[in-house]
Amino acid sequence: MAGEIARLDGRLPGLDDKHRAEITQTVRRVVDKLLHAPTVRVKQLAAEPGGAGYADALRTLFDLDPETVAAVSRAEDSTTEKNRGPA
């Protein structure tokens, strides 16, 4: 993603920091939304016998950084906790 933001800087050299930050945040939100459903499904599949291969295959196919995957998972888990309400 950093490469795409750098490309944007080349195309729009007058872009100020506030707008660049907003664009960067918007791109992150879009990516997170695109990855949300597949991430949930992979977790479901990985919980089944022999399911670990699904997560490994997706990491390999999409060259996903394991730290990024973990961050999305943590964000998703905290959202789930918030939606449950008081215990």
Question: pLDDT, tens digit, for every residue of 21-69?
Answer: 999 999 989 988 988 888 888 888 888 888 778 777 877 888 877 776 6
Q: Is the CA virtual torsion 45, 47, 51, 56 positive or negative?
A: positive
At residue 30, the pLDDT reads 92
Domain range annotation of the chain = 2-82
Mean pLDDT of 68-81: 59
Helices then strands (H, E): number in the chain? 4, 0
At residue 55, the pLDDT reads 75
CB 27 within 8 A of CB 8: no
Q: Please give the Cα distance from 80 to 2 (Å, whole number).
A: 29
Per-residue pLDDT tens for 2-30? Answer: 888 889 889 988 989 999 899 999 998 99
Q: Could you tell me the CA-to-CA distances from 9 to 15, 20, 25, 49 in Å, in that order?
A: 7, 8, 15, 47
At residue 69, the pLDDT reads 62
The pLDDT of residue 87 is above 60: no
pTM reported for the whole predicted model? 0.55
DSSP state of 19: H
Q: Chain-centre distance of CA 82, in angstroms?
A: 19
